[in-house]
Amino acid sequence: MELRMKQERLFDEDVYTVHPEDYRALCEKLKAEGYDFPRAISSVDMGYGLRVVLHLTRMSDLAKVEVRTDVPYDDPVVDSVTDLWPGVEWHEREAYDLMGIRFRGHPDLRRLLLEEHWEIHPLQKRYDTGGYPLPDWQPKDWPDPAPWEEPPPPEEPEEKAEGGEGE
Amino acid sequence: MSTISLEPVPGRTDEMVVNMGPQHPATHGVLRVVIGLEGERITRAVPHIGYLHRNHEKIEEARSYTQVIPYTDRMDYVSGTQNELPVVLAVEDLLGIEVPERAKQIRTIFFELFRIASHLVWMGTAMLDLGAITPFLYTFWDREIILGIVEKTAGARMLPNYYTLGGVRRDLHPDFFKDVADFLDHLERRMPDYEHLVLENPIVHARTKGVGVLPKERAIARGVSGPVLRASGVAYDVRKAFPYDAYPDVEFEIPTSPDGDTYARFWVRFQEIYQSCKIIRQLLEKTPKVGPYKGKAPARLRVSGERYRAVENSRGELGVYVVGDGTDKPYRIKHRGAAFGNLQVIPDLFIGAKFSDAIAILSSLDPVFGEIDR
Amino acid sequence: MGLLGSEERPRDIILGTLDDLINLARSRSMWPLTFGIACCAIEMMATWDPKVDADRFGMFFRNTPRQADVMIVSGTVNKKLAKRLRRLYDQMAEPKWVISMGACANQGGPFRQGYSVVEGVDKIVPVDVYIPGCPPRPEALLQALLLLRDKIADRELRYKRPREIPTDYDVMAEPGKDGRLPVL
Amino acid sequence: MTEMQAGITVIVFFLVGLAIVYATIGIARLLVGVRPKPAGKLDAYESGEIPIGDVNIRFNVNYYIFALLFLLFDVEAALLFPWAVAYDKLGWLGFFEAVIFIVILAMGLVYAWRRGVLKWVY
C-alpha cells in the first residue's frame, strides 16, 4: 500500500514526513530495514498542531533517519512504537507529559516528569514560561498542502515566521 | 548429615515494598526507585524521575541562542562544557558559520579534559557507594587540578559557559599548555594507583563481576549509549560515527568489553581516561600556541530550520533538536540526555539482582539528573 | 562577648551559662544531611575533598535526617521535591538549621520564571544562611558553615530564628505574577 | 548476706535503673517542654517519601537463623571478654577451661555449617 509521506534530504539525514495513520506502518518498514538504535523522540508544537519527530540510526552503516508526523490539537493521538524500540518508552511518556501527545498502545502512559495531578501540558505554545495560559494565543489553521503531501511544484509552503513569544 | 534446604516457598512469604527515594546516599542525585523485595532479591523496580525537572526547554524558548548556552551547562553539571557543544554545533550548521581550525582543537581539548573530570567524579562516587572512602579523596583532588586549569582560561570552575558560536569565548591562558602537560604527567603517575584501588580490588571484583549483565541487543533496543553501551560490546561512539570538531584528525580507539556486566562498565570508563589522555597529548602538539580562537558569527542571529545534532559526552550520546523560526530565540529545543537513555534499563538490570547489587549497578550507570529531568 | 576568654581573663577560663556551653559543643560538631540535589551538590562534595576539607570543623555527612543537625539545600527545589524536602526538614531532630546554597535555592536562580520551580527554598523551610553563586565555590560554602557556627555559638544571634513556615504550605497554589492562580 | 539483703539489693538495682531512665527523659522534658510535632515527624523515615508497604510481613527463615547464630556467638564473645582481661592471673587451668568453652561452641558452628544453614540461599 502506498504510504502518504514526503521524503527529503536534510544535512546528512533523510527525513520522512508521514500521515499519522501511516506513521506506524513506516516505522515497521524502517525497523525491517535495520534501523535498530532509537536516539530520541522530540515533540514540537507547530502552532497548527503537534508534531512527533522520531530520530533513528542504523548501527550497521550508521545511516540516520527522521520520521515526522503532525497531529491536530483536538485529538493528538499517535500509534506508539515502544514495542519496536523499547528505548523510546520514556521519550513517549515525556512527550505525553510535557506536550500532550497520547500514544495508542503504550505500556504505561503516565506522566514522567511532572506529578500526576497536573492537568496542563506546559510545553505547548498556549502557555507562557510560568505555565499560565496566554490570553491572546490562537491556533493557526492547518497548512493547505498537508506537510506529508508533495508540495505543488510552483510554490514551496515555506515555514511561516512567527515572532518569538514570552517576555 | 542431610542439609536443610532454605529455598523460599513461593506464596509463603510476602513482598516488602521499599522506597529508594529522592534523598538517598547512593542514588547520585534525586531519583526515586520503588523496589519490591522478596528477602534480598528484587522482584519489582519502578523508577520515578522528575525531582529535578527545571523546565530547561520551556525557559530556553524565551532566551536567545547565546543565552541558551549557560543553561546547557547546567544539564550534565559534572561534565561542564561538553553539554554546550550540541547546541553550538547545531546552530553553526543552520547558520553555516565557519569555525577556525585552532578553535576546534581548543574545544576538543576542553571536551576531553571534562571527560576525564567526569570519569574521576564517577570513580570517586562509585567507590563511595561500594564503601571505599579513599578513592573519593584522590579523584576529587585530581579533578580540582582540572578545574583550576579550566578556571584560569574560561573564568568559572564547573560550568564555564566557554563555547560560543564559531569557536570559544576567550583565548587560552598563556601557561595553559604547560599546566595541561603537567596534569597529564601527574594523572599518568596516579593511574596505576587507581587501577590497584579500583580494578584490582577483590571487593570490587566480588560485587561487580557478573552483576547486572546487559545483553547487546537489549542495550541497543533500549537506546543506551556511551560507556554502558560499549561495555555490552557495541563499538558505537559518536566521535567516530559522526565526527565533529577536531576528532577526525586525532586517532584513538574505542574501548569495548564483551561481557556487559558492572565490572565491564567500570573497566570501559578506565580505558576511556587513557584514551582521553592520548587525545589531549596529540592535540597539545597540533594546536598552535597563537592563532584565531573564534570565527565570524553574525551579530543578529536569524536561525531557521530544524537540526538534530549529537556529541559523545562522558555519559553517552547527548543530542539536541533545534527548531528555529527565523528569530534569535529557538522556537523549540529538545535535549536528548545521555543518561536519560541509560536509566531506562533500571527495571531490566534490577529485577533478579540483590538489593546491594542494585547500588553497584546504579553507580555503574553513572546517572546525572540535570540532563535526565531537564 | 567573646566566649573563649578576653583581656582581663586568661584564655583558659570560660565563664558562661550552661546554654553557652551546650551551644559551643553543638556549633563545633554540626552534622549536615546528605541531600545533594543539583550542580551545587557537586561543589558541596568538593567542599569535603582534601583541598577545602570541611571535616576539619567537625562536619560529617549523615544520611538520615534523624541524626543530622544542618540541612544544606544544594540545588534547585522544584514543586515535586518541595513536599519531600519539607517532610525531611520535619523529621530532623530539633536543634536544626538550614543553609540555602546557590541561586536556585535562594530565589529560583536561572530557572526562576519556570512553571515547575519553587522560587526560593525559604518558602518551604526557614533558612538561616544564604549563599549566593551559581554554583558557589567550595570556599563560599565553607564560609557559610563557619558563619552558621558563629551564629550558634553567639549568645544573641542564637535565638534570632527566621519565621516559622507552616508544614502544609502548598507551593502549587501560589498566585502567579499578576495574581492569577495557575491552572495546574 | 542473708536472703533479705540479697533481695533488697536486687530491688535497689532495679529502682536505680528505672530512676536513671526517667531522670534523663524528665530533665529533657523539663528544660525543653513538649513541642508540637508536625505531621510527618513521627512517620518512618523513607528517604523523604511517605512510607509505603507494610513492615511486619512474613519474610524467609534465612534471616531468623542468621540472627540466632549471631546472637549465640555474640554472647560467647561477651563471656570471653572478662576471661581475656584476667587471662594472666588465671594460669593454665583458666586457659584450658576457655579452650574447652570455645571448642564446644566451635562444634556447634561446624554442625550448623554442615547442615547448610549458613548458605545464603536467596
CB atoms within 10 A of CB B286: 15
Q: Which residue of A has its CA nearest to B54?
A: A113
Residues contacting residue A30 through CB under 8 Å, at least 6 positions apart: A56, A65, A67
CB contact under 8 A, B29 and C36: yes
**CA separation for the pair B190, B3 (Å, rounded):** 50
**In 3D, which of D69, B71, A93, B201 has the Cα closest to residue C113?**
B71
**Which chain D residues touch C167 with a CB distance below 8 Å?**
38-40
Higher-confidence residue of B1 and C130: namely C130
Q: Which pLDDT belongs to residue B274?
A: 95
CB contact under 8 A, D45 and C85: no
CB contact under 8 A, B53 and A113: yes
Mutate to test the interface with B, among D45, D56, D57 (most CBs of B within 10 A): D57
Query: Phi and psi dihedrals of C71, rounded to 5?
Result: -110, 115
User: Are the beta carbons of B157 and B147 closer than 8 angstroms?
Assistant: yes
Q: Going by beta carbons, is chain B in contact with chain A, meaning 3 or more pairs sit under 8 Å apart?
A: yes
pLDDT mean across residues, chain A: 85
Confidence of residue C47 (pLDDT cuts 50, 70, 90): very high
Q: Which residue type, as a one-letter code, is found at position A160?
A: K
**In 3D, which of B312, B346, B317, B361 has the Cα closest to residue B218?**
B346
**In 3D, which of A156, A107, A163, A154 has the Cα closest to residue A136?**
A163
Q: Which residues of C touch D (CB under 8 A)?
A: 64-66, 84-88, 90-91, 94, 167-168
CB atoms within 10 A of CB B368: 28
pLDDT mean across residues, chain D: 88
Given A36, A40, A90, which is nearest B221 (Cβ)?
A: A36
**In 3D, which of A108, A106, A131, A135 has the Cα closest to residue A120?**
A131
Given D35, D38, D49, which is nearest C167 (Cβ)?
A: D38
How does pLDDT run across B215-256, given as a tens digit for each residue?
Answer: 998 999 998 999 999 999 999 999 998 999 899 999 999 999
**CA separation for the pair D79, D105 (Å, rounded):** 12
CB contact under 8 A, C90 and D50: no
Longest dimension (CA), chain D: 63
Compute the average pLDDT of residues A85-90. Answer: 92
**CA separation for the pair B162, B137 (Å, rounded):** 27
Q: Which chains touch D (3 or more CB pairs under 8 A)?
A: B, C
**CA separation for the pair C129, C98 (Å, rounded):** 7
Query: Phi and psi dihedrals of A135, rounded to 5?
Result: -65, -35
Confidence of residue A165 (pLDDT cuts 50, 70, 90): very low
Residue D37 contacts B where some CB pair is shorter than 8 Å: no
**Which chain A residues touch C116 with a CB distance below 8 Å?**
113-114, 122, 131
Q: Which residue of B has its CA nearest to C53?
A: B137
**In 3D, which of C31, B46, B141, B319 has the Cα closest to residue A107?**
B46
CB-neighbour burial class of residue C97 (10 A; exposed 0-12, middle 13-18, buried 19+):
buried
Residue C60 contacts B where some CB pair is shorter than 8 Å: no
Q: Which pLDDT belongs to residue C94?
A: 81
What the block records as the C-alpha cell of D33 is: 517542654
Residue D57 contacts B where some CB pair is shorter than 8 Å: yes
**CA separation for the pair A119, C184 (Å, rounded):** 6
Residues contacting residue B196 through CB under 8 Å, at least 6 positions apart: none
CB contact under 8 A, A131 and C177: no
Q: Of how many residues is chain B composed?
A: 374
Cis peptide before A143 (omega within 30 of 0): no
User: What is residue B173's DSSP assignment?
Assistant: P
Confidence of residue C68 (pLDDT cuts 50, 70, 90): very high
User: Are the beta carbons of B344 and B223 closer than 8 angstroms?
Assistant: yes
Q: Which pLDDT belongs to residue D70?
A: 94
Residue D120 contacts C where some CB pair is shorter than 8 Å: no
User: Are the beta carbons of A120 and A99 closer than 8 angstroms?
Assistant: no
**CA separation for the pair C47, C55 (Å, rounded):** 9
Q: Which pLDDT belongs to residue D62?
A: 83
**In 3D, which of B91, B118, B112, B122 has the Cα closest to residue B28?**
B122
What the block records as the C-alpha cell of A138 is: 490562537
The domain limits of chain A are 5-104
CB atoms within 10 A of CB B351: 15
pTM of the model: 0.90
H-helix or E-strand containing A15?
strand A13-18
Residue D89 contacts C where some CB pair is shorter than 8 Å: no
**In 3D, which of B69, B285, B286, B292 has the Cα closest to residue B172?**
B292
Q: Which residue of B has its CA nearest to A50?
A: B332
User: What is residue C175's DSSP assignment?
Assistant: -
The residue behind cell 552534622 is C31
Compute the average pLDDT of residues C86-90. Answer: 90
Whether C161 shows a pLDDT value over 50: the answer reads yes
A43 pairs with which residues across the strands?
Answer: A52
Annotate B238-250 with b (16+ C-beta within 10 A) or e (fewer).
bbebbebbbbeeb
**Which chain D residues touch C84 with a CB distance below 8 Å?**
48-49
Domains recognised in chain B with CATH numbers = 56-373 (1.10.645.10)
Q: Can you say whether residue C118 is alpha, beta or left, with left for phi > 0 and alpha for psi between -120 and 50 degrees?
A: beta
CB contact under 8 A, C167 and D43: no
Q: Which pLDDT belongs to residue C6?
A: 59
What the block records as the C-alpha cell of C82 is: 518541595
Residue B344 contacts A where some CB pair is shorter than 8 Å: yes
Whether C140 shows a pLDDT value over 90: the answer reads yes
Q: Report residue B169 CA to chain centroid gap.
A: 23
Q: Which pLDDT belongs to residue C2?
A: 53
Distances (CA, A) of A11 to A33, A64, A66, D107: 21, 10, 12, 77
Longest dimension (CA), chain C: 66
Distances (CA, A) of B14 to B5, B37, B356, D55, D59: 19, 9, 20, 10, 6
Whether A103 shows a pLDDT value over 60: the answer reads yes
Compute the average pLDDT of residues D92-105. Answer: 93
Whether A156 shows a pLDDT value over 80: the answer reads no
Mutate to test the interface with D, among B3, B9, B359 (most CBs of D within 10 A): B3
Q: Going by beta carbons, is chain A in contact with chain D, meaning 3 or more pairs sit under 8 Å apart?
A: no
**In 3D, which of B105, B80, B83, B79 has the Cα closest to residue B272?**
B79
Given D35, D43, D45, which is nearest C94 (Cβ)?
A: D35
Compute the average pLDDT of residues A52-72. Answer: 91
Q: Output the CA angle C150-C152-C157, nearest 5 degrees.
A: 85
User: Are the beta carbons of B271 and B249 closer than 8 angstroms?
Assistant: no
CB contact under 8 A, B52 and C33: no
**CA separation for the pair D60, B14 (Å, rounded):** 9
DSSP E strand boundaries for B116-212: 163-164, 167-168
Whether C1 shows a pLDDT value over 50: the answer reads no
The residue behind cell 569495548 is B256
CA distance C19 to chain D (A): 11
**CA separation for the pair C143, C161 (Å, rounded):** 19
Given A117, A119, A131, which is nearest C115 (Cβ)?
A: A131
Q: Which pLDDT belongs to residue D43?
A: 83
**Which chain C residues touch D38 with a CB distance below 8 Å?**
90, 167
What the block records as the C-alpha cell of C87 is: 517532610
**In 3D, which of D66, C18, B91, C47 has the Cα closest to residue A11?**
B91
**CA separation for the pair B113, B158 (Å, rounded):** 12
Q: Which pLDDT belongs to residue B59?
A: 92
User: Are the beta carbons of C131 and C102 closer than 8 angstroms?
Assistant: yes
H-helix or E-strand containing D93?
helix D87-114
Low pLDDT (below 70) residues in chain B = none
CB contact under 8 A, A129 and C177: no
CB contact under 8 A, B49 and A112: yes
Residue D108 contacts C where some CB pair is shorter than 8 Å: no
Q: Which pLDDT belongs to residue A149?
A: 77
What the block records as the C-alpha cell of C17 is: 551559662
**Which chain D residues touch C86 with a CB distance below 8 Å?**
40
Confidence of residue C18 (pLDDT cuts 50, 70, 90): confident
What the block records as the C-alpha cell of A65 is: 533517519
Q: Which residue of B has its CA nearest to A95?
A: B334
**CA separation for the pair B309, C144 (Å, rounded):** 41
User: Are the beta carbons of A5 and A22 closer than 8 angstroms?
Assistant: yes
Sheet of A13-18: strands edge to edge?
Answer: A5-10, A13-18, A64-71, A50-57, A37-45
Residues contacting residue D106 through CB under 8 Å, at least 6 positions apart: none
**CA separation for the pair C173, C171 (Å, rounded):** 6
Compute the average pLDDT of residues C172-181. Answer: 58
**Which chain D residues touch B24 with a CB distance below 8 Å?**
47
How does pLDDT run across A24-47, given as a tens digit for each residue?
Answer: 999 999 999 989 899 999 999 988
CA distance D79 to chain B (A): 30
Q: Output the CA angle C165-C171-C176, nearest 5 degrees.
A: 120
The residue behind cell 546491594 is B356
Q: Which pLDDT belongs to residue A167?
A: 38
Confidence of residue A160 (pLDDT cuts 50, 70, 90): very low
Residue D61 contacts B where some CB pair is shorter than 8 Å: yes
pLDDT mean across residues, chain C: 85
What the block records as the C-alpha cell of A125 is: 505554545
User: Are the beta carbons of B216 and B232 closer than 8 angstroms?
Assistant: yes
**CA separation for the pair C118, A63 (Å, rounded):** 43
Domain A5-104 has CATH 3.30.460.80: yes
